[in-house]
């Protein structure tokens, strides 16, 4: 089968898929950390941006915030606590919807969120298709990197696709022709100089995902946070093996065929493709920036007062500042050059004039 199909089974098989089992994926007891696991300031600053979006939309009586891939619901809880405490006007208009494909995960999020918001204004759904037309914002953090991808390589001067086949009790890779013309078109558009032996991933799921949002969003925004970059920075000799990685027990691995369904599989996001697909489906691009610049722009106005909780000791405040540093500079330069800018923030919009958003202020 194609690697795209294999990755889909590994992550989204109804019974055995990694994202469908209700396992604890993030945090100390999971396989990786997200920004929401690190400190509530991440959700608080995004909530500041959300409140500004509501104001740009002229304060509609109902503003729907749709979080896709909510995990344990940590982000949602921190977001709602901040809005309820500091922006009660916005909270009065807010409806919060979580999109989670796994039924066990949805149940866990509903249980957590029942303590933060009245049930009629909080919902958990399996897919975007279940939503009515809305005004608001579609939000995701580390979601698109988990969309299944095809893998293409150049072998013998020709483009080939990676397939997965059984070899006794094991799985192994084999090369075959590119059978989907959309995969070939993506390579030609974004990586037409792929070198011999090098690999790249092609994510064909982003366009249908954006189309599904375009069908529901009448006025508002799409806010996407993920690691990746523009095509000209992503498909270079710096990534000869591509960007696909497996994560288990907080360790990055390249054995994609070990324990299918028991480890996460991710690939860096081609933001050029997201921007292009958005334009084709009716979304304009407000801007693309790094997570570092996004959080700095939102936090500078009040000197990151959102970082602290009432009654904290000086030691607790120091620990909070260290966590903020990890959010903004998530790697030491000597270990991972440029890692602080690997996470990108893309904001797209429709149904309104070009917005001036604080999160994009630093470029």
Give the model's pLDDT for residue 340: 52
Q: Is 203:267 a contact under the CB 8 Å cutoff? A: yes
> For the domain bounded by 20-146+202-252+260-360, which CATH number is listed?
3.40.50.12710
Q: Is the pLDDT of residue 239 over 70?
A: yes
- In this predicted model, what pLDDT tens digit does every residue of 207-217 receive, in sequence order? 999 999 999 99
Q: What is the pTM of this model?
A: 0.92
Per-domain boundaries in the chain: 20-146+202-252+260-360
- In this predicted model, what pLDDT tens digit does every residue of 338-347 receive, in sequence order? 345 789 999 9
- SS3 labels along 175-243: EECCCCHHHHHHHHHHCCCCCCCCEEEECCCHHHHHHHHHCCEEEEEEEEEEEEECHHHHCCCCCCCCC
Q: How far is the CA of 350 from the CAs of 215, 282, 359, in angstroms?
A: 11, 7, 18
| Rounded mean pLDDT, 3-16 | 95
Q: Is the pLDDT of residue 230 over 90?
A: yes
* pLDDT confidence bin for 337, thresholds 50/70/90: very low
Please state, as a whole number, how many other Cβ atoms lie within 10 Å of the Cβ of residue 276. 18
Q: How many whole angstroms separate alpha carbon 29 and alpha carbon 22?
A: 13
At residue 248's C-alpha, the angle toward residues 244 and 254, to 5°, is 35
Give the model's pLDDT for residue 28: 65
Q: Is 202:234 a contact under the CB 8 Å cutoff? A: no
| DSSP code, position 26 | B
């Amino acid at each position: 089968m194609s690697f795209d199909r294999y990755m889909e089974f590994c992550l989204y098989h109804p019974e055995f898929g990694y994202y469908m089992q209700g396992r604890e994926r993030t945090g100390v007891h999971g396989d990786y950390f997200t920004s929401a696991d690190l400190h509530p300031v991440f959700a608080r600053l995004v909530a500041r941006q959300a409140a500004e979006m509501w104001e740009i939309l002229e304060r509609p009586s109902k503003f729907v915030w749709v979080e896709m891939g909510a995990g344990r619901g940590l982000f949602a809880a921190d977001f709602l606590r901040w809005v309820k405490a500091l922006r009660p006007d916005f909270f009065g208009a807010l409806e919060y919807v979580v999109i989670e494909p796994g039924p066990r995960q949805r149940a866990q999020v509903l249980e957590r969120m029942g303590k933060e918001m009245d049930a009629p204004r909080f919902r958990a759904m399996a897919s975007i298709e279940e939503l009515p037309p809305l005004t608001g914002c579609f939000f995701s953090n580390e979601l698109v990197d988990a969309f299944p991808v095809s893998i293409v390589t150049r072998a013998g001067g020709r483009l080939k696709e990676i397939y997965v086949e059984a070899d006794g009790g094991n799985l192994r890779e084999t090369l075959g022709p590119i059978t989907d013309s959309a995969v070939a078109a993506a390579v030609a558009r974004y990586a037409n100089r792929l070198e011999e032996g090098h690999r790249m991933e092609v994510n064909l799921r982003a366009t249908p995902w954006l189309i599904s949002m375009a069908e529901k969003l009448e006025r508002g925004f799409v806010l996407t946070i993920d690691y990746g970059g523009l095509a000209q920075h992503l498909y270079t000799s710096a990534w000869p093996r591509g960007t696909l990685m497996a994560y288990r027990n907080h360790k990055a691995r390249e054995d994609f065929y070990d324990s299918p369904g028991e480890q996460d599989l991710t690939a860096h996001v081609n933001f050029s493709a997201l921007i292009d697909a958005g334009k084709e489906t009716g979304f304009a691009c407000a801007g693309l920036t790094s997570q570092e610049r996004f959080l700095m722009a939102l936090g500078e106005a009040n000197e990151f007062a959102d970082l602290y909780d009432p009654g904290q000791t000086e030691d607790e405040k120091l620990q909070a500042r260290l966590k903020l540093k990890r959010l903004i500079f998530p790697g030491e330069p000597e270990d991972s050059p440029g890692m602080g800018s690997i996470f990108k923030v893309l904001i797209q919009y429709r149904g309104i004039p070009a917005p001036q958003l604080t999160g994009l202020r630093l470029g």
